Structure 1
Amino acid sequence: MTTALATPATKTWQWQGFSIRYQQLGGVGAPVLCIHGFGASSDHWRKNLPVLGENFQAYAIDLIGFGLSDKPTPNQPLAYTFETWGQQILDFCREVIGQPAYLVANSIGCIVALQAAVDGSDWVKGIVMLNCSIRLLHERRRAEIPWHQRLSTPIVQKILGYPQVGRFFFSRIAQRQVIRNLLGQAYRRPEAVTNELVEAILNPALTVGAADVFLAFVRYSQGPLPEDLLPQAQCPVWIIWGQDDPWEPVALGRKLADFPAVRAMEELPGVGHCPQDEAPELVNPLVLGWLGEAESVGA
């Protein structure tokens, strides 16, 4: 790894009147844009950008409503939906990168990447999905979850819709020890749950508007499922899955590998929901290999 690529440059981009944070590293090769999951930010790619930046133009973005990007009140004017975030990614490729890019995404970021590929296929060269969100709380998935969750989920979502209740609930979650405990569930390797990681999740949660964005998303049970978007994808897709993910079961993830767009799926034993951060030594070579091969075939 070269010293010059050790620290990404942090920049801002104005999108639809809002400030969007992104990080950039590397100046040669094809562009690669990393998209975080729910409650995370571009900092979740801090162990990947230096490696990707040695061979590619590497970017990581804070989706609107997350990280240090602006967090406007839901539906004033933007709704927090995959269509909105997909458009943000496409506009970033057009206005900032200036050319089609590969998208590397985690969790709900995978749905964002797929949505962008469907809405603007000319701007997405390929997608690497890490533990794609299956969206088990989606209204069309209710039959697949235990009966008590089928009954309780709509009730809880309605209760959280009351601002005072929802914001109090969020304030109980946005605390260091609670975040550490949640990460301890999501990560299989305890040593990966560092103070740096906890602060990277907590600090954006303490910014203005974070609670309203959180509550808008936990009540969002509509929109696309991955199996809706994968058949429409015109670019190659590769999948990485931490086998010990407690939130997105690998058994369900394997079904996504059956779609024609998917070129390969690699399962990582002993790894949880965020492989890029928990096991970068396994993830980075896979991503470099797949994208390098795709570039050589394209050339």
Structure 2
Amino acid sequence: MSAATAIPVADCTWPWQGFPIRYQKAGTTGAPMLLIHGFGASSDHWRKNIPVLAETHQVYAIDLIGFGKSVKPFPGDPVTYTFETWGQLVVDFCRDVIGEATFLVGNSIGCIVALQAAIMEPAQVRGVAMLDCSLRLLHDRKRSTLPWYRGAPTPFFQKLLGIRPLGHFFFSRLARPKFIRNVLKQAYGREEAVTDELVDILIGPSKDEGAADVFLAFVRYSQGPIAEDLLPKLQCPALFIWGADDPWEPVELGREYANYPAVEDFIVLEGVGHCPQDEAPELVNPILQKWAVAH
């Protein structure tokens, strides 16, 4: 609950294909929004946005299967950790839980999930807002354009991580508060936003059974769609918000997405890094509210 708005946020569970999926919900009026987190995060990464957006909208935030407080099945049959899987999860959530066409708001890989869902079921999606969309620079097709000395090590590293004991050891070295804090300080333009609370939010789910295998499955996933595949097929309006200081997804590359017909605006936030919703919610929330109300 936000002290500023006093709008309660409900923590809920939804059974999807027999798997418990965690989501949060707030607000009772206005068009619905579904907030979709990035890799390694959860719906709690939107804690600074949910109560404020709920002043004008019905707001939902989901933990994708494999992340947050949602279940983390072993990769394979029946769950593969691909954008097609997450896209279907989002489509089903919009239909079965929300019950009407929804604005999708994503961060990082959550943007690709949102685009995938919008392509799969256009009638379920009113618009897509993307915050620092993942460029998927390690995708097979993109890596093939790099000089050999930059692209060649990635498959070798991915193959090593496929050795399960080695992969689990690697994950255990990463899933430590000090390491997570250092990574966040690199990714965030506003270092003061890297708090103990944020570190706890990200590291908590890493202790769950299956977390390491999900992490390794995605790190080794260099196929599937990229934004360049999906944007030309998009039938709803799109908005891009981008942190100018994002070291992972350079804004200079992201600007190319503004050229697609569905993209209405490309907004750059100075001094902000990879997670604008958490670093600069006072800037992001009004932009999202104004955009959604206009549609």
TM-score bin (small chain): over 0.9
In the alignment, structure 1 residue 230 sits paired with structure 2 residue 205: no
Give the Å deviation of 1:40. Answer: 0.2
The C-alpha deviation readout for 1:199-249, integer Å capped at 9, x for no partner, is 000001111100000000000000001010000000000000001000001
Distance in 1 separating the partners of 2:171 and 2:149: 23
Amino acid at match of 1:225: I
Equivalent pair of 2:5/2:51 in contact (CA under 8 Å): no
1:84 is matched with 85
Equivalent pair of 1:27/1:56 in contact (CA under 8 Å): yes
Distance in 2 separating the partners of 1:167 and 1:101: 38
Give the Å deviation of 1:105. Answer: 0.5
Equivalent pair of 1:136/1:145 in contact (CA under 8 Å): no
The C-alpha deviation readout for 1:99-133, integer Å capped at 9, x for no partner, is 11000100000000000000000000000000000
Q: SS at 2:221's partner residue?
A: coil
1:209-228 equivalent positions in 2, closer than 5 A? 209-228=210-229
- CA RMSD after TM alignment: 1.0
Equivalent pair of 1:87/1:116 in contact (CA under 8 Å): yes
2:6 is matched with 4
Give the Å deviation of 1:151. Answer: 1.1
Distance in 2 separating the partners of 1:98 and 1:279: 30
Amino acid at match of 1:201: L
2:204 is matched with 203
Amino acid at match of 2:54: G
Distance in 2 separating the partners of 1:146 and 1:275: 32
Q: SS at 2:68's partner residue?
A: coil
1:158 is matched with 159
Give the Å deviation of 1:147. Answer: 3.7
Distance in 2 separating the partners of 1:177 and 1:108: 24
Amino acid at match of 1:104: V
The C-alpha deviation readout for 1:147-180, integer Å capped at 9, x for no partner, is 4331100000000001000000000000000000
Distance in 2 separating the partners of 1:78 and 1:39: 17
Equivalent pair of 2:238/2:262 in contact (CA under 8 Å): yes
1:274 is matched with 275
Distance in 2 separating the partners of 1:54 and 1:8: 12
1:227-266 equivalent positions in 2, closer than 5 A? 227-266=228-267
Distance 1:268 1:145, change over 3 A: farther
Identity within the alignment, %: 62
Give the Å deviation of 1:8. Answer: 1.2
The C-alpha deviation readout for 1:32-83, integer Å capped at 9, x for no partner, is 0000000000000000011110000001000000000000000131100000
TM-score, normalised by the number of residues in structure 1: 0.96
4+ runs deviating over 3 angstroms: 1-4, 143-147
1:287 is matched with 288
Distance in 2 separating the partners of 1:147 and 1:184: 30
Matched positions, count: 293
Distance in 1 separating the partners of 2:150 and 2:174: 20
1:173 is matched with 174
Distance in 1 separating the partners of 2:119 and 2:158: 29
1:21 is matched with 22
Amino acid at match of 1:277: D
Give the Å deviation of 1:146. Answer: 5.1
In the alignment, structure 1 residue 103 sits paired with structure 2 residue 69: no
Distance in 2 separating the partners of 1:145 and 1:106: 25
Give the Å deviation of 1:145. Answer: 4.0
Equivalent pair of 1:26/1:58 in contact (CA under 8 Å): yes
Give the Å deviation of 1:188. Answer: 1.1
Distance in 1 separating the partners of 2:150 and 2:168: 22
In the alignment, structure 1 residue 131 sits paired with structure 2 residue 126: no
Amino acid at match of 1:243: A
Amino acid at match of 1:108: I
Distance in 1 separating the partners of 2:82 and 2:232: 20
1:24-63 equivalent positions in 2, closer than 5 A? 24-63=25-64
Distance in 2 separating the partners of 1:205 and 1:114: 26
Distance in 2 separating the partners of 1:144 and 1:246: 20
Equivalent pair of 1:170/1:211 in contact (CA under 8 Å): yes
Equivalent pair of 2:5/2:55 in contact (CA under 8 Å): no
